[in-house]
Chain A
Amino acid sequence: MNKRRQVNTSTDSRTSTDSRTSKELNPPMDTDERPLAGLATTPVSRRRLLVGGTVAAGVALVAAACGDDDKSSTTDTTADGTTATTAAGASGDLTVAEVAAGLEVLAVQTYEAALAAAQGNKLGTVPPAVATYVTTALAHHKEHRDFWNKVLKGAGKPEVTAPNSKLKPTVDAEFAKVKDAAGAAKLALTLEDIAAQTYLKAIPTLKGKDAVRKAAEIQVVDQQHQSILLYALGEYPVPVTFQKTDKAAF
């Protein structure tokens, strides 16, 4: 890398973060992190002028979901004429969205089954903290599921309503063995581990910045679910120094 290039790139980083520096401890909300903001205010973006129909599909796809409240940006994306399946990045991000939605459906169904079992007195006495955990995690996974389905729907794909077919039989078999709250927590821990690892594995491959961000936001929450489950099960809540991906769903 030559000197001139370094200088230019340095300028890049300063330019992209100056606005944040001025805000000190406020979260960064520049347009780089909110592509929709740029799209919404720029009917024909420079990017579009340059690359035409090869707009990063992940951005467009997830933007469609994120931008539900921003009609102009959604319209803008649609007006671009870019179809999600024409770009490599798009199909890759869509595949992740489908896998993620399938996992979230599985998590929702499993937590719902656990909740029903607890309410039916099939798990013995359920500690209040565990009951709160189940309802909280259930609500989170519903939101995650709905988010990915919104992405898929925005891209013209069908929503995923069926659980991950690869994992479903195993989870069902394990759930049949659950007799108490601890057993349910162990199964939940396995699901959270798979989900977090799947997002971790997917993030570096995603093309759309919004897709990356949302996957990361979900990964963080799933890892935190794990910590509380580990604590409830009597284990150390931060068991590894680097998160792994060997249990990822793809």
Chain B
Amino acid sequence: MTNIDDRAFKQLIAESQDLHVDAMRGINETIPVLEEIREERRGQEIDTDEIDRFNRNRRAMLQKMGYGAGGLAGRGLLAGSFGTILTGLMATPARADKTLDVQILQTASSLEKLAIETYNTAASQNLGGVAKVPGTAGQVIVKFVTETVKQHDEHKKGFQAQTTALGGKPQDTPNPKFAAEVTKAVPGFKQLVDVVDFAAVLEKVATDTYLVNLTQLEDMKSKELMASVMGVEAQHLASLRAVSALLKGGAPELIKIPIGADLAKLPAAAGSVAFPNAFEQVGPVAEPETGAVK
């Protein structure tokens, strides 16, 4: 029979007990939360998207406490009764949490606020010299800006109302991530096309942010609102692309509503410039936390 090194053995036991105490400290914090989640979802249909979100929560929580799955497994703790409890609890999906939805809605409000302020700033600077544009184009563009600001304001109010409905605080400040881009861009508004092109950038950010958000939102009403607004921002974007192309193409006189017989004068590219791809290609977006109320 192999001799046992009592001293080393006791040291190993002491280390093991320390590890156990450490682990239980974290678990004592974790289990009530998981039990609460389990009770809330008992008997409800499994939603795999919710499981994804719950898993992200759980992984982050464990990592934050220093008990990543690898660490626990390495210490042999998942093999015991605690492991069974934890595994069982973690296999139960979480109730749909609303915090991320609220953040998404707050960030959407912040983008709308930013769009409103940017259009208003550009308007206060005469839209880069819109009055110099020949024909009725100037009037059309001024009307477009006025209408678009109104629409963004309605969108903002809609997102704010939905934020409140989900128990969050409505956001009413511009998105800081893209506000910084606006600050950099405004001094460069030398001519109308500069304003138009930058407005298109903001409309694309909004469109693409809402598009990505649709894959993350859980609340049905929020999804409906987001998709509805996304469609409108996409149309703002299309309109701005067309206007930009006509300005750059030296045909500002064709920016008119109704266009009437001048439809025949539109360059061929006007029929495709507003939608360069069959599927929207997502560009820069405002991540949910960027516009969240702190």
Spell out A's residues near B (CB within 8 Å).
1-2, 4-6, 8-17, 20-21, 24-28, 32-33, 46-47, 50-51, 54-56, 59, 88-89, 125, 127-134, 136, 139-140, 143-144, 147, 196, 200, 203-204, 207, 209, 212-214, 216-221, 223-228, 231-238, 240-244
11 A-B pairs (CB sep. < 8 Å):
A6-B99, A9-B99, A12-B53, A16-B288, A50-B91, A216-B214, A220-B211, A237-B242, A241-B150, A242-B228, A244-B228
Q: Tell me the complex Cα distance, A223–B232, Å.
A: 8
Across the interface, do B270 and A56 meet the contact criterion of CB distance under 8 Å? no
- Interface of chain B, main secondary structure: helix
Across the interface, do B272 and A136 meet the contact criterion of CB distance under 8 Å? yes
Across the interface, do A243 and B228 meet the contact criterion of CB distance under 8 Å? yes
Across the interface, do B266 and A221 meet the contact criterion of CB distance under 8 Å? no
Closest to A31 in B: B52
Across the interface, do A220 and B46 meet the contact criterion of CB distance under 8 Å? no
B8 at the interface (CB under 8 A from A): no
B9 at the interface (CB under 8 A from A): no
B51 at the interface (CB under 8 A from A): yes
In the complex, what residues of A have CB within 8 A of residue B282's CB?
27-28, 217
Query: Given the interface contacts A10-B99, A15-B59, A218-B279, does A238 sit within 8 Å of B235 by beta carbon?
Result: yes
A223-B232, A228-B271 known, 13 other contacts, Cβ within 8 Å: A12-B99, A16-B100, A21-B287, A27-B208, A27-B282, A47-B48, A47-B55, A50-B55, A56-B49, A131-B271, A221-B278, A224-B238, A240-B232
CB contact between B268 and one of A1, A26, A55, A132 (< 8 Å): that residue:
A132
In the complex, what residues of B have CB within 8 A of residue A196's CB?
231
In the complex, what residues of A have CB within 8 A of residue B55's CB?
46-47, 50
Across the interface, do A9 and B97 meet the contact criterion of CB distance under 8 Å? yes
Q: Tell me the complex Cα distance, A219–B234, Å.
A: 9
B193 at the interface (CB under 8 A from A): no
In the complex, what residues of A have CB within 8 A of residue B264's CB?
125, 127-128
Instruction: State the Cβ distance, B154 to closest chain A Cβ, in Å.
Output: 5
B252 at the interface (CB under 8 A from A): no
- Interface of chain A, main secondary structure: helix
B26 at the interface (CB under 8 A from A): no
| Residue from A128, A225, A234, A241 having most chain B Cβ neighbours under 10 A | A241
In the complex, what residues of A have CB within 8 A of residue B224's CB?
204
Across the interface, do A28 and B258 meet the contact criterion of CB distance under 8 Å? no
The stretch of B13-21, B119-127, B130-138, B215-223 that contacts the partner chain: B215-223
Across the interface, do A132 and B271 meet the contact criterion of CB distance under 8 Å? yes
Across the interface, do B46 and A51 meet the contact criterion of CB distance under 8 Å? yes
Instruction: State the Cβ distance, A129 to closest chain B Cβ, in Å.
Output: 4
Q: Tell me the complex Cα distance, A214–B279, Å.
A: 7
| Residue from B93, B215, B284, B292 having most chain A Cβ neighbours under 10 A | B215
Across the interface, do A59 and B234 meet the contact criterion of CB distance under 8 Å? no
Query: Given the interface contacts A4-B33, A12-B100, A136-B272, does A235 sit within 8 Å of B285 by beta carbon?
Result: no
Query: Given the interface contacts A6-B99, A129-B270, A231-B242, does A212 sit within 8 Å of B279 by beta carbon?
Result: no
CB contact between B48 and one of A56, A136, A214, A235 (< 8 Å): that residue:
A56
Instruction: State the Cβ distance, B75 to closest chain A Cβ, in Å.
Output: 20
Across the interface, do B229 and A128 meet the contact criterion of CB distance under 8 Å? no
Instruction: State the Cβ distance, A227 to closest chain B Cβ, in Å.
Output: 4
Instruction: State the Cβ distance, A109 to closest chain B Cβ, in Å.
Output: 17
Interface residues as binary, B190-210 with A (CB distance below 8 Å gives 1, 0 otherwise): 000000000000000001100
* B246-294 residues at the A interface, CB under 8 angstroms: 257-260, 263-272, 274-275, 277-280, 282-285, 287-290, 292
Across the interface, do A33 and B235 meet the contact criterion of CB distance under 8 Å? no
CB contact between A225 and one of B230, B275, B287 (< 8 Å): that residue:
B275
B148 at the interface (CB under 8 A from A): yes
Across the interface, do A140 and B278 meet the contact criterion of CB distance under 8 Å? yes
Closest to A130 in B: B271
CB contact between B285 and one of A28, A32, A147, A225 (< 8 Å): that residue:
A28
Across the interface, do A241 and B155 meet the contact criterion of CB distance under 8 Å? yes
Interface residues as binary, B5-40 with A (CB distance below 8 Å gives 1, 0 otherwise): 000000000000000000000000100110011000
Q: Tell me the complex Cα distance, A204–B237, Å.
A: 23
